[in-house]
Amino acid sequence: MKWLLACIIVLFAGAPFLPRIFVVRANEIDDKINELTTKVRDLQNQENSLSQQIKIIDSSTTITTLKITNTKAAIARLSAEIGELAIEIDRLEIQLTRRSELVLKRIPETYKKQVAPQFGLLFFSKDFSDFIRHIKYITAVQKDDAQLLFQLKATQQNFAQRKTLREDKKLQQVKLQTQLEQQQVELARQKKSKQVLLDQTRNDESVYQKLLAQALAEKQAIEGALISGVKIGHVNRGDPIALVGNTGYPNCSTGAHLHFEIRKNGSWVDPTGYLSHRDVIDQQDGGRRSIGGGAWNWPLEDPIVLTQHYGRTPYSWRYAYSGGIHTGFDMVSNSSIVIRAPEGGDLFSSAQNCGSSIIKIKYIDHGGGVISFFLHVQ
């Protein structure tokens, strides 16, 4: 649109090289991000090893850092554009006020001249030539007023467009600020992930492979439970079904906690979409956090400590079988070890080998392809 092009010209008239420099710099960063993304994809297709995992984390960290750089630059550019628009809006507002006052003053005067009968002009004119001059004068005044009205309308439109553009850019800035915060959280997670990896493996390839095998054994235990689980009977929401335990230790558990996950038609899903809104103590990222957007009860009582989230976490490098995704929530309660059914369904129980240990699992078939799992129970 022409007005948008005009805005861009106005915004950068004082700094003709800034847009080009910004675009070139952004393109260079995008190229580097694409290059590193391809590298990560290639590494993921190679045989899983500790050194490979470290390279993946390092490359991913660099990608996130570059994205943060791009986002900060975009926010700064929008701030400059919003500032320029504010100056332009102030100028247009002054111009609009002046033209409005002029229109309000001139239109009544023109109206008086316009409604005067022509024979009156003829009567007060010295001769016919003087009459013609009066007519031409009135016509010219009418033309000037029409031009003034056109300018006023154009100024009003321009003023409205600039204000709309400024508000749009403010919204873009808010979205980018939210994006920046998410990127910074992701960068902190990636850095912590590398440190956890080095601490837990002691930078030893054999320890790394052992931890991967233990995580895979837990997944296989769930698969086995689905095949050989014994049906206990129907349970209603809120019914007690088990106690928090540490079964599977030391191969498939590092301490007493509940691993809670949900599968829909055989695929892992984020429990956030099922569990009701609740404030929890976030041990993984620190502080408190509001989680939940569904209707199910939480399986533990308040206060709940969430020790590991669903998705990519500082510890999820272990879950190579899921693409590095932690498939559920790890949690404990500071008030009770009783696990309750989050929603009604048929309850099943199973005990499976997990390395050299035995892990006990309860799960509820809620119907519609939805199953919830409760691991490490007593």
My answer on whether omega of the bond before 303 falls inside 30° of 0, hence cis, is yes
Sign (positive or negative) of CA dihedral 226, 228, 229, 230: positive
**Packing angle of the helix pair 50-115, 205-228 (nearest 10 deg):** 80
**Domains of the chain: which residue ranges?**
2-201, 206-375
Query: pLDDT class for 122, splitting at 50, 70, 90?
Result: very low
| Average model confidence (pLDDT) across the chain | 85
Name residue 177's amino acid. Q
Neighbours of 111 (CB within 10 A): 11
Q: What is the pLDDT of residues 339-365, one digit of tens each?
A: 999 999 999 999 999 988 999 999 999
Three-state DSSP state, 369 = coil
Residues 6+ apart with CB under 8 A from 337: 243, 244, 256, 378
Which tens digit of pLDDT belongs to each residue from 159-175? 788 888 889 999 999 99
User: What pLDDT score was predicted for residue 254?
Assistant: 87
Condensed to tens digits (0 to 9), the pLDDT of residues 207-246 reads 999 999 999 999 999 999 999 999 999 999 999 999 999 9
Range 326-341 average pLDDT:
97
- The residue type found at 81 is E
Q: What pLDDT is stored for residue 109 in this prediction? A: 55
Predicted local distance difference test score (pLDDT) of residue 305:
98
- What type of residue is 358? I
Taking the C-alpha atoms of residue 327 and residue 325, their distance in angstroms, rounded to an integer, is 6
Structure confidence by residue, pLDDT tens digits, 144-158: 666 666 666 777 787
Instruction: Decide if domain 2-201 falls under CATH 1.10.10.
Output: no
pTM exceeds 0.75, yes or no: no
